[in-house]
Chains A and B, each alone.
Chain A
Amino acid sequence: MHPAFSVIFLTTLIGVGQGLFLALFTGQLYALANLLPAQTDLFYAQGSMIALMLLIGGLVASVFHLGRPERAWRAATQWRTSWLSREVIVLPAAMLFTAVYGLLHYFGWTQPLFVISQTLPVDATLIVGALGTLATFLLFLCTAMIYASLRFIKAWHSPLTVANFLFLGIASGFMLAAALSAYNSSSLVVFYGTWAVVATLLGAITRGASLYRNSDFRCKISMQSAIGVHHAKLHQKAQGFMGGAFNTREFFHGKSDALLQMLRYGFLLMVFILPVLLILLAYLLESSRLPIAAFLIQYAGLVIERYYFFTEAKHPQNLYYQSMA
């Protein structure tokens, strides 16, 4: 498939935004359980604002993918059958919960509404945060299933696709939370950094598995089956046109194997190896800059990873466009 930068930025940006929201809410839960020192409301408000900006950035990027963005509201109608439609519904929901979560903290509306078992004070941020967490996980599922549900594209049609989107999004979000904590000289750097490393390692396992799965790629369909001529030596002489067509532009990436290999090594280094090393180094040196570098490098790596994700997909329609005489 031809990598679409609009979709690359959509999936990576909302992945970071979702991960950051999960990081904030995880931090709040830990603080509630007295496992972490309580943070100021401003920290949560600032983080939620950044998460919201990332989600909006993703939405803006996705608009460039559409031919008719002015009708995009119609995309919410087919949620019964289309994962894309489900994403279109869940994304604004996640944005709404993120915004409300941030506003509640900003205005300090954190007085307990009621107390469960005389130990757990429940305030509005806890409820909205829980709803936001649900929306965030659903959004990961919807985004990944857009690709994983295409049964003709073998490289995507796997639960590993969902796992990759989930773990890589969470990893980059926690990495950003660590970077923000470091920037604010907060004590949460170690907490977020540790979870970012855990998520990154989980992502390394699932992404590695999907790379291994796709390395021995064989299309289920042959040219013989595509045109129904069962001759062992069959090749194409003409595509029906001498110039280009949508079929030759949308489904071919046209990149050399050498470049793809470089991209693969590049994203493995930038998404998995360097950020983990930088976080470890930051822990040892107690540096406040290295977590920021870790996040930026990982995000750049994720853009490459998503680009590579598109080039991995071999579409069966390409069998009809093998050569031009």
Chain B
Amino acid sequence: MTQLALVIDLNVCVGCHACVTSCKEWNTSGWAGPMTDQRPYGEDPTGTFFNRVQTYEAGVFPHTETYHFPKSCLHCEDPPCVPVCPTGASYKREDNGVVLVDYDKCIGCKYCSWACPYGAREIDEKQRVMKKCTLCIDRITDMSLPESERKPACVLACPTSARLFGDVHDSDSEVSVAIREQGGYALQPEWGTKPANHYLPRRKTRIQIHEDELVRADNPLKKEQLPSLPEGGETLDDVAW
């Protein structure tokens, strides 16, 4: 079975929000739209977003590190939001594992948002139905697009290639290799929801080196320690090996 997912590399993400804006741009004008805003230029703007980039700081100044953390639906393999839906509007696609909402069936009871521990679902104030990341289902399944463009808008927009997209059930896919080899992890694994999206951690390249390894104590070429040269200068035997 295919399970499409995103793998987000926190080592590379610079927090530019390009994925946020490209997500909104693509989806507000497509199948999942409109993603309306309320008071966009007012004092308290709000609106529908499928993707956000948050920022966290670890440590205490000056020893701090900033983490930019893109946050969207994780397309859980065991999604808690789907069975609670009273109308069947929430469903997980059999063929590719994407969790979607049928806007024509949703009654906007918000129960799915209560059941999602990640806060991935929200109500669209205009359409009054629940919405969430679709993994750009209208893009990735559009066979009229060249294969290189059959990817979510956020993945295509990311300037640092921090977002990978692929099938996490295919062990040879780019995302599976990245998860396996670069320490990919799931969010809130304690619940057993098995999120399909994974995150790659910060990675430091450090070598273990000790002080005495920097100074060579037993340098055989040290001049003072060289055996005294035979009289008459070096012979061919002295330098040949």
Say if A and B assemble together.
yes
Which of A82, A152, A234, A238 is close to B86, meaning CB atoms less than 8 Å apart? A82
**CB-CB under 8 A for A320 and B54, given A1-B114, A88-B86, A221-B117:** yes
Most buried by B among A76, A88, A231, A239: A231
Per-residue CB contact flags for chain B residues 45-75 toward chain A (1 = under 8 Å, else 0) read 1101100111111111000011101010000
Say whether B105 contacts A74, CB under 8 Å.
yes
Say whether A316 contacts B52, CB under 8 Å.
no
Expressed in whole angstroms, the Cα–Cα distance for A75 and B57 within the complex equals 43
Say whether B52 contacts A240, CB under 8 Å.
yes
Say whether B185 contacts A233, CB under 8 Å.
no
Q: Looking at the complex, which of B77-85, B141-149, B161-169, B173-181 is the stretch in contact with chain A? A: B77-85
**CB-CB under 8 A for A72 and B107, given A82-B86, A315-B114:** yes
Q: Tell me, yes or no, whether A237 is within 8 Å of chain B by CB.
A: yes
**CB-CB under 8 A for A227 and B56, given A67-B108, A82-B83:** yes
Q: Looking at the complex, which of B121-129, B150-158, B212-220 is the stretch in contact with chain A? A: B121-129
Instruction: Provide the residues of chain B in CB contact with A85, threshold 8 Å.
Output: 86-87
**CB-CB under 8 A for A240 and B87, given A71-B105, A233-B59:** no
Q: Tell me, yes or no, whether A117 is within 8 Å of chain B by CB.
A: no
Say whether B128 contacts A67, CB under 8 Å.
yes
**CB-CB under 8 A for A246 and B123, given A77-B87, A221-B188, A241-B52:** yes
Q: Tell me, yes or no, whether B26 is within 8 Å of chain A by CB.
A: no
The chain B residue sitting closest to A234, CB to CB, is B58
**CB-CB under 8 A for A67 and B54, given A82-B85, A229-B67:** no
**CB-CB under 8 A for A240 and B71, given A82-B83, A245-B49, A251-B119:** yes
Q: Tell me, yes or no, whether B18 is within 8 Å of chain A by CB.
A: no
Expressed in whole angstroms, the Cα–Cα distance for A76 and B105 within the complex equals 12
Say whether A225 contacts B188, CB under 8 Å.
yes
Expressed in whole angstroms, the Cα–Cα distance for A254 and B115 within the complex equals 20
Instruction: Provide the residues of chain B in CB contact with A150, threshold 8 Å.
Output: 84, 114-115
Which of B10, B44, B87, B187 is close to A243, meaning CB atoms less than 8 Å apart? B44
Instruction: Report the minimum CB–CB distance from B119 to chain A (whole Å).
Output: 3
Say whether B117 contacts A316, CB under 8 Å.
yes
Instruction: Report the minimum CB–CB distance from A59 to chain B (whole Å).
Output: 14
Q: Tell me, yes or no, whether A274 is within 8 Å of chain B by CB.
A: no
Instruction: Provide the residues of chain B in CB contact with A244, threshold 8 Å.
Output: 44, 46
Task: Tally A-B pairs: CB < 8 A.
Answer: 176
Which of B88, B113, B114, B188 is close to A74, meaning CB atoms less than 8 Å apart? B88
Which of B57, B85, B116 is close to A317, meaning CB atoms less than 8 Å apart? B116
Say whether A237 contacts B57, CB under 8 Å.
yes
Say whether A228 contacts B187, CB under 8 Å.
yes
Instruction: Provide the residues of chain A in CB contact with B111, threshold 8 Å.
Output: 82, 84, 146
Expressed in whole angstroms, the Cα–Cα distance for A66 and B20 within the complex equals 28
Q: Tell me, yes or no, whether B110 is within 8 Å of chain A by CB.
A: yes
Which of B45, B106, B188 is close to A226, meaning CB atoms less than 8 Å apart? B188
Say whether A220 contacts B128, CB under 8 Å.
no
Instruction: Provide the residues of chain A in CB contact with B67, threshold 8 Å.
Output: 227, 229
Which of B54, B60, B109, B127 is close to A239, meaning CB atoms less than 8 Å apart? B54
Say whether A75 contacts B115, CB under 8 Å.
no
Expressed in whole angstroms, the Cα–Cα distance for A297 and B10 within the complex equals 55
Expressed in whole angstroms, the Cα–Cα distance for A77 and B83 within the complex equals 12
Say whether A240 contacts B53, CB under 8 Å.
yes
Expressed in whole angstroms, the Cα–Cα distance for A244 and B40 within the complex equals 11
Instruction: Provide the residues of chain B in CB contact with A229, threshold 8 Å.
Output: 10, 56, 58, 67, 201-202
Instruction: Provide the residues of chain B in CB contact with A84, threshold 8 Å.
Output: 84, 86, 109, 111
Q: Tell me, yes or no, whether B211 is within 8 Å of chain A by CB.
A: no
Most buried by A among B46, B107, B122, B185: B107
Instruction: Report the minimum CB–CB distance from B162 to chain A (whole Å).
Output: 15
Per-residue CB contact flags for chain B residues 216-230 toward chain A (1 = under 8 Å, else 0) read 000000000000000
Instruction: Provide the residues of chain B in CB contact with A78, threshold 8 Å.
Output: 83, 85-88
Say whether A228 contacts B55, CB under 8 Å.
no
Which 9 interchain pairs have the tightest Cβ spacing?
A: A67-B108, A317-B119, A67-B128, A240-B52, A246-B122, A231-B58, A81-B83, A85-B86, A75-B86
A-B contacts, 29 of them at CB < 8 A, read: A67-B108, A67-B123, A68-B107, A71-B106, A74-B107, A75-B107, A76-B86, A77-B87, A81-B83, A81-B84, A82-B84, A84-B84, A149-B84, A152-B115, A221-B117, A225-B190, A229-B202, A231-B59, A234-B57, A238-B54, A240-B20, A240-B71, A243-B46, A244-B46, A245-B49, A250-B113, A250-B122, A317-B117, A320-B54
Using CB atoms and an 8 Å cutoff, list the residues of chain B in contact with chain A. Answer: 10, 17, 20, 39, 44-46, 48-49, 52-60, 65-67, 69, 71, 80, 83-89, 105-111, 113-119, 122-123, 127-129, 185-191, 199, 201-202
